Amino acid sequence: DAGITQSPRHKVTETGTPVTLRCHQTENHRYMYWYRQDPGHGLRLIHYSYGVKDTDKGEVSDGYSVSRSKTEDFLLTLESATSSQTSVYFCAISLAGGSSTDTQYFGPGTRLTVL
């Protein structure tokens, strides 16, 4: 298994509070991604990073920000959590971005509940 950890694995918070999720990799992969998974919607991209301090928005980026100050860590922040952000969040990594041989590997997920 690829060396990807996510913390926390479970979190319950209240509406309006800030929340930060952490993804840590030991593979030295350049690309890192944050997806959310919701019933009826599948996995959708929130943000991704193609290098330290280089990030781009995904399909569902509103209400989320990200930061990547080191190759191994990619942080996802909900500035003011809302109930619609209750979801399972997955981090993923890949070595390259536009290669036909490149595989994406996923972390174990973080289950976030916003009350």
Partner 1 sequence: KQEVTQIPAALSVPEGENLVLNCSFTDSAIYNLQWFRQDPGKGLTSLLLIQSSQREQTSGRLNASLDKSSGRSTLYIAASQPGDSATYLCAVRWSAPLVFGKGTRLSVIA
Q: Which residues form the interface with partner 1 (CB under 8 A)? A: 31, 33, 35, 40-45, 48, 50, 58, 90, 92, 94, 97-109
- Least CB distance to partner 1 at residue 74 (A): 13
Instruction: Identify which of residues 85 and 110 has a Cβ nearer to partner 1 in the complex.
Output: 110
Q: Which residues contact 40 (CB under 8 A, 6 or more apart)?
A: none
Sequence-distant (≥ 6) Cβ neighbours of residue 15 within 8 angstroms: 81, 82, 83, 114, 115
Residue with Cβ nearer partner 1 (14 or 54): 54
Least Å from the CB of residue 80 to partner 1 = 25
Q: How far is the CB of 4 from partner 1 (least distance, A)?
A: 9
Nearest to partner 1 of 14, 59 (CB atom): 59
**Smallest separation, CB 35 to partner 1 (Å):** 8
